[in-house]
Structure 1
Amino acid sequence: MTKGQGFGFGLGGKMKELTEAFKKAQQIQEGAKQLQEELEQMEIEGQAGDGLVKVVLSGNQEPRRVIIAPNALQEDADMLSDLVTAAMRDAYEKSTTTMRERMEQLTGGLNLPGGL
């Protein structure tokens, strides 16, 4: 048997790479589970109208609450609707950015094959 070929199939080096890939996949899976738990506990606030309307989402974008300042109720219904929509969009963008950054932290240092 030629050195480095393992079992005569030429897989010696490939098996080591495959084993490392499985280890990295397990690390990512464990990290993703922990990240999911963190995101569920996290609260991300979006706002509009200089804080007249605030929307709070969990880190995984589950709606938590909407806070409307009393003076926002002086606006007409269309304006209030626009403020709520803008606050929702702000919270969504912040939560998406947070999720992306956390996933990059999780997978960034693992040097995954295939650019994963």
Structure 2
Amino acid sequence: MNGMNMQNMMNQVKKMQKQMKQDQENINKQEFTGQAPDGIVKVVFSGDRKMKDMKIKKEAIDPDDPDMLSDLVVSAVNNALSKIDSATKDSMGKYTKNIPGM
């Protein structure tokens, strides 16, 4: 009897692993746009955290203040990565919600 329960549990684990992989692949295919305040810098990432595009408006480019542009890019990138994290947590969280410490 224990052998059958163990086999059943292993089948369920394999099924869950397959679904988790599909869910992660779906996230990886999505695009996430992050932006700095007022959309002055926009970046696009794929769900697997690869930057695909960046748009910078002219008014963001001040030759006398390159640090401002750096800050805007960092803000846009962090915004996009936060969106990826949130989507991953929403999608993958269902697998870990009943595991203590997760």
TM over 0.5: same fold? yes
Note the C-alpha offset of 1:108.
6.2
Q: Secondary structure at the match of 1:50?
A: helix
**CA-atom RMSD in angstroms:** 2.3
Residue 104 (structure 1) aligns with: 93
Tell me the TM-score normalized by structure 2: 0.80
Note the C-alpha offset of 1:36.
2.9
Tell me the TM-score normalized by structure 1: 0.72
8 Å Cα contact 1:60-1:99 kept in structure 2: no
List alignment gaps of at least 5 residues for structure 1. 1-11
Match of 2:61 among 37, 53, 73: 73
What percentage of residue pairs aligned between the two structures are identical?
A: 32
CA–CA separation in structure 2 for the residues paired with 1:98 and 1:47: 17
Q: Secondary structure at the match of 1:99?
A: helix
Equivalence map 1:86-97=2 (5 Å): 86-97=75-86
Moved over 2 A (4+): 14-17
CA–CA separation in structure 2 for the residues paired with 1:96 and 1:37: 14
Moved more, 32-41 or 57-66: 32-41
8 Å Cα contact 1:46-1:87 kept in structure 2: yes
List alignment gaps of at least 5 residues for structure 2. none
